[in-house]
Structure 1
Amino acid sequence: MVDYQKALDDYKRKLNSDQVASSEIIQDLKLGNEPNAKVSYQIDNNGVTVDQLKTDGTTSLFHDLGADDKNVTAGEIAIGKAGYLYVHIPGNINGNVVTVTYDNLQNSSYKGQKIAKIVATIHDVQVDGFDQHRLVISDNPYYGFYQQRLKQFAVNYTYYDANGQMINFSNNEDDGGAWLSIGSLNSGYYRTEEAQLLSSGKAYGFYNSTVAVHGDNTIYSSDVNELTGDLKIDGPTGRGVTTPSPFLNNDNKWWDTPAGLEDPNAYLGAGVFNIKGNHADINFIDETNVNGYMSWFTASTIIPKDSFKITPPSTDVHYHYDVNDKCKEKPNGVTTYQSESK
């Protein structure tokens, strides 16, 4: 235990004020998978139209966006099968765009208190210079959003208990409270994905991660963390030159895997927000110049493991029953045990 604690203390001394150790995060918020959520929506801008769609369970939502399903992942098929709102954005919008309400939640809670409803208000959207600007909102809040040709969009989340009362996250600095992880923040190959906490709280990165806090509670990677590296333009020839990424995991594999934030190296492209107050307002940003490019964003309560990989020693106690001597029946019927720590 002493060696583990010393190693952890040495690790924590390396952190700056904008970094946090995963082991120090006390997570009181749980946003689970909600396959039985009932979704409704309200259009808040006259120029916006919404289609409510589902796939047949064999093709992904990308099929409806005009892409083929050749390399589709199981997660993308699941999102399409769950159903989604297909929001058409006419252009830049200041103010609210659409409000989505998720009822009948079964697997979400805060400090053990059930979260029965989530309201997500999408607001302040900026589009790129191309056409057909779209936002895909899953019917399951666990899956988040896909965007196409949006430079940024903000989502204001409010949470309600079973009595319809808005949940207020603790403002006590000594209380762990609510944490939201933003993972899969890719950088390189034409784009940089960012997230900014607009409401009360603080943004943090992880030690040795590519993602860092860059001011105004904004997190992103200023380095290349893509599997294929950064695509830069070679001036003399005008051709793209791909450089390899140094940010692969120990097995020389891509860190942004289907395991998501549970991948042991997910911290390489992730940061966290410590949420205070009665709502979480997050601005999702995609800096890209590629026509038709799509990106996925979600806020999760899974805390990725950071680069400190030493496992704490077990504190389990194992009891040994010895009929000869070490276990004796007392007159009052109470049995005494001799314990041995593991």
Structure 2
Amino acid sequence: MAYPLIDPKLSADALEKQLLAAWKHERLFQKTQDAARYGPPFVFYEGPPTANGRPGIHHVFARTIKDLVCRYHTMLGQGVTRIAGWDTHGLPVEIEVERMLGISGKKQIEAYGVEKFNRLCRENVFKYKTDWEALSERIAYWLDYEHPYVTYTNEYIETVWWLLKRLYEKALLYRGHKVLPYCPRCGTALSSHELALGYDEVQTNSVFVTFPLASDPKRQLVIWTTTPWTLLANVAVAVHPDLEYGEYEVDGVRYVVAAERAAHVHVGGKPLAAATRVAGYRGRELVGQKYLRPLEVVPLPQEGQRALVVAGAFVSAAEGTGLVHMAPAFGADDYAVAQQYGLAFVNPVG
């Protein structure tokens, strides 16, 4: 069979559209499905987009890779089921409707009417549905849009609960903690994606605090924090095991900071680098030492270690003092270190 010559006058865009039209006319997607219908099954669920926002070029990149996987399994003779989906939950939908109505926050949503608000959210979530479908068709990303899963439907929600029940029956669920950013306006935890939507850098106050070592209170660890309210829940101080630390004596007190930060930490209005350095060592030599907690206001649980110097690869000398105060309920790194060292866990907020 001879293939027709490509018209050199056509642009790449026109050639692609011509080919897509031919595939559509031939029902090529359906034919590939039928040809491998009885092959070993390979089920692909599209990671669902939220259709109240337009697709971007990054979606083209991701969908190209997904399509390659599906086409590869089709070439192996497998029966590939490509299921489209729509993500209809999440703050972006609610915030968009709030803007549309000119309201803000839970109280105003309740005053407007939760049922009416939910109905608008269900409508708004498909605002750009045709844009997404057009993108998929334009890049030849084959999906079954006639039978998609939609996350707000009872069928989908009940399936999730059924799966959770199965996990529970197999003793695969456990109660634990997860540190997440929280939005007081929305009254809910935020995902990393939601946080990125409104991330902003602000200038705020910070504090330097000294933690005397239990073995010698005149030797004091210097920590820097932008969240002083978390000092109530302090249970550890992290140092980098490979960083160089120095002890700088001022008026009989020896302050411990990363050597690289000595010029940036001031005591009595003068940088520690100008004081006498009386000792120097790697951070690993501090690990395991005990110190006196700065505040004994919130009682700690009986179980778990506390007031302990631990190692943390995330500690750096880029800012602060090179020593980081640990409050496991208030940071992902803090919580991970708490799990590693068996630290006490306390959350005085909430």
Which range, TM-score by smaller chain? under 0.3
TM-score, with normalisation over the residues of structure 1? 0.19
Higher strand fraction: Structure 1 or Structure 2? Answer: 1
Of structures 1 and 2, the one with the larger relative CO (CA 8 A, separation 6+) is 1
Find the structure with the greater CA-based Rg. 2
TM-score, normalisation: structure 2: 0.18
